A = this chain, B = another copy of it.
Amino acid sequence: VYNISILTIGDEICIGQITNTNASWLAAKCTELGANVVTHSSIRDDKQEMVDELNRLIPKSDLLIITGGLGPTHDDITKQVLAEYFKDELVTDKDWEAHLIKFFNKRGYVLTERNRAQALVPNSSKVLSNSIGTAPGLLFEVDGKKIIALPGVPSEMKAIFIDNISSIIKSDMIVRNDDVLVYKNFQVSGIPESKLADLIGETDKFLDGGSLAFLPSFKGIRLRVGVKAKSFEEGISKIGLIEKVLYERAGGFIYGQNDDSLVSKVGEYLVQSKSTVSVAESCTGGLLGAEFTKISGSSEYFVGGGIVYSNEAKINILGVDSETLMKHGAVSEEVVKELARNVRTKFRTDFGIGITGIAGPTGGTEEKPVGTVWIGLSDEKVTIAQRFVFGNDRDMNRERAVGTALNMLLKRLKNFKDS
């Protein structure tokens, strides 16, 4: 297999000020290519730490990807340390310098000395072009090992990877005739993890050396199947056999594969059935609408909705009956049904979803504790509502409400389709 390690440089990662999304993005991309991501490591902006990690990670990797510390300020030490490590000198890359001049001219600026320094690169390195920023990627090759340094700005790191590195990994793996690791994911909803495990039952036989992992989240469970194979084709056919068993045993709960998400799948069903949807959100405050409109092209089925956080907004904007509100409270079956029904008629959509609850951390009562959420779903024929009691965490309760609402709509759409 082709082994890749990922090294992140930066105090802000080490002290936990930002989460290392660069590492997970890079790891996912490398995994897609069939490579084996061995380890991620994050260290401070410190020369000795960096040298220690180079010494440790290069021997165990065919490719080491470094992110961070390539910018123009004084705490950006990566380029300097790499030059010393490989006994290089910094020399001006004329092509990159010309690119920088053009880059700044286009924006009406002259190139400052600080920015011109971005064209200084270690003499043994190769420049990897950065289509959206000023710091190029750097590629070193030593004893058949590759070391690549990338800027830490996520958008620039991604652009350099997509434009340059993906093809380097692919051709390396072909030349070396490496084994590949192939993964496929199955998206499950509407069943708890332990029940799903029972349904799938004994795995050793049908996995035949492959792996099966359960990854639960608020939006369902992701089943990940992995196999090692001589080629992608062989891997895919091995996974095909496993997939067959999974669908036989738990197919009713598998709603999608790989990058499918609840909201993308709901969108597909809505397009297929030429239906539209609108939302009435209280405790989620727009989060469900934001989730629908994440998907480019969602305007085909998502019309809009009302964010009705206050009782007045519920009454004035979505015509909730003030007596119903008084009698049953905002977090009630009666109100959520009115929300779902009224938003559907007001926005003239086929489906209306209503959400009202106590997100927390305060505002709960004995009868309606924090985490109580009512979700309503209305179509021309029927309006249903379900009550859920999630946990104490505000963010989680809002996320779970969104996931649960999408799951209710998905179920309804699947029933329509299957009937």
Query: Which B residues are CB-close (under 8 A) to A308?
Result: 304
Rounded to whole angstroms, the CA-CA distance of A259 and B283 in the bound complex is: 23
A31 touches B15 (CB 8 A): yes
B20 touches A24 (CB 8 A): yes
A43 touches B49 (CB 8 A): no
Would you give the 0/1 interface string for A388-399, flagging 1 where the beta carbon is closer than 8 Å to chain B? 000101111010
Taking the full assembly, how many copies of this chain does it contain?
2
- The answer to whether A39 and B14 touch (CB under 8 A), given A286-B305, A302-B309, A395-B294, is yes
Query: Which B residues are CB-close (under 8 A) to A215?
Result: 12, 17-18
For A35, give the chain B residue with the smallest CB separation.
B15
A19 touches B24 (CB 8 A): yes
B289 touches A286 (CB 8 A): yes
For A181, give the chain B residue with the smallest CB separation.
B15
A387 on interface, CB distance cutoff 8 Å: no
A141 to chain B, nearest CB (A): 25
Majority DSSP secondary structure for residues of A touching B? mixed
Rounded to whole angstroms, the CA-CA distance of A303 and B302 in the bound complex is: 23
A167 on interface, CB distance cutoff 8 Å: no
B49 touches A28 (CB 8 A): no
Rounded to whole angstroms, the CA-CA distance of A27 and B395 in the bound complex is: 21
B293 touches A155 (CB 8 A): no
A89 on interface, CB distance cutoff 8 Å: no
Residues of chain A at interface, number, CB under 8 A = 85
Query: Which B residues are CB-close (under 8 A) to A44?
Result: 38-39
A292 on interface, CB distance cutoff 8 Å: yes
Query: Which B residues are CB-close (under 8 A) to A317?
Result: 304, 306, 346-347
Instruction: Give the interface of A toward B (CB within 8 A).
Output: 11-21, 23-31, 37-44, 49, 56, 73, 75, 155, 183, 185, 211, 213-215, 222, 224, 226, 278-279, 281, 283-290, 292-294, 296, 298-299, 302-310, 312-313, 316-317, 346-348, 359-362, 391, 393-396, 398
With A17-B28, A286-B287, A306-B307 known, 13 other A-B pairs at CB within 8 A are: A12-B213, A16-B26, A20-B24, A40-B40, A75-B211, A286-B307, A290-B290, A290-B398, A299-B310, A304-B310, A305-B307, A306-B317, A312-B348
Minimum-distance CB pairs A-B, first 4:
A285-B293, A286-B286, A286-B289, A16-B27
